[in-house]
Amino acid sequence: MENLLIVANWKSNKTLEEAKNWLEELQISDVDLENKEVVVCPPFTLLNFLKDEIISKNLPLNLGAQDVSSFGPGSYTGEVNALQLKELVRYVIIGHSERRKNFGEDDSILAQKVSLALSQGLSPIFCISSADMSVPNGVKIVAYEPLDAIGTGNADTPEDAEGVAKKIKERSGGVSVVLYGGSVEADNVVNFTKMENINGVLVGGASLSASSFLEIVKNA
């Protein structure tokens, strides 16, 4: 059986102090993580700190970035490229609906990001909000996040999410892992992770509190 992938997306939240407190509170080493992999995607500013903590305390956590530049190294002010991320993370979220909506990221930009991420050995977690959206070649992990479920408390039904996950795998041959995202909480996570075609969850709001994220990891 594939590991369940439980991914925290902190979005544009947390200062260094808040990240320290979160990590102290998490107590992840006490949790049975058999068949589970836990990934934290903080803002770029916290990646270095978290990486050092994970190594020095031998924490069972992996890191992901929330975005990557669609350009390589060079004169692209404000951008963080895949070569730089490779030193810090294994995963990178690409195509989150908030980036599509607020930053005008379209299919061609996203395909470019995926291609650069893959060329550096990063694993993209590619977000789509319906089964018919395009998934660039080479993507193995897709997060299905229906727009009206993100940050609303109105999660999709597990049955609907399972149907979409199945369709995504049938349509895109290379996709072997589908995560569900959108108002995942400690009390609904297992309804999704018990589904045959759902291989994990992408958690936004509920990942900001260490205790609620830990409950999600335990219950998944």
Binding site for ligand PGA (CB under 6 A): 9, 145, 150-151, 181-184, 202-206
Nearest to 150 by CA among 103, 192, 182: 182
- What is the sign, positive or negative, of the torsion defined by CA atoms of 178, 86, 19, 26? positive
- Quick one: tokens of 210? 């260490």
CB of 205 to ligand PGA, least distance (A): 3
Closest CB to ligand PGA: residue number: 204
In the bound state with ligand PGA, the residue whose beta carbon lies nearer, of 151 and 174, is 151
CB of 215 to ligand PGA, least distance (A): 14
- What is the sign, positive or negative, of the torsion defined by CA atoms of 177, 182, 187, 191? negative
Nearest to 200 by CA among 174, 181, 175, 172: 181
In the bound state with ligand PGA, the residue whose beta carbon lies nearer, of 112 and 212, is 212
CB of 77 to ligand PGA, least distance (A): 27
Among this protein's residues, is 145 annotated catalytic? Answer: yes
Give SS3 for 48.
helix
Among this protein's residues, is 96 annotated catalytic? Answer: yes
Amino acid at site 66: Q
In the bound state with ligand PGA, the residue whose beta carbon lies nearer, of 195 and 202, is 202
Catalytic residue among 37, 53, 87, 96: 96
Catalytic residue among 98, 105, 145, 162: 145
CB of 96 to ligand PGA, least distance (A): 6
In the bound state with ligand PGA, the residue whose beta carbon lies nearer, of 183 and 191, is 183
In the bound state with ligand PGA, the residue whose beta carbon lies nearer, of 74 and 153, is 153
Are residues 40 and 50 in contact, defined by beta-carbon separation less than 8 angstroms? yes
CB of 98 to ligand PGA, least distance (A): 7
- Quick one: tokens of 139? 């993507």
Integer Cα distance of 126 and 30 in angstroms: 30
Give SS3 for 122.
coil
Instruction: Determine phi and psi for 203, rounding to 5 degrees.
Output: -115, 120
Catalytic residue numbers?
A: 96, 145
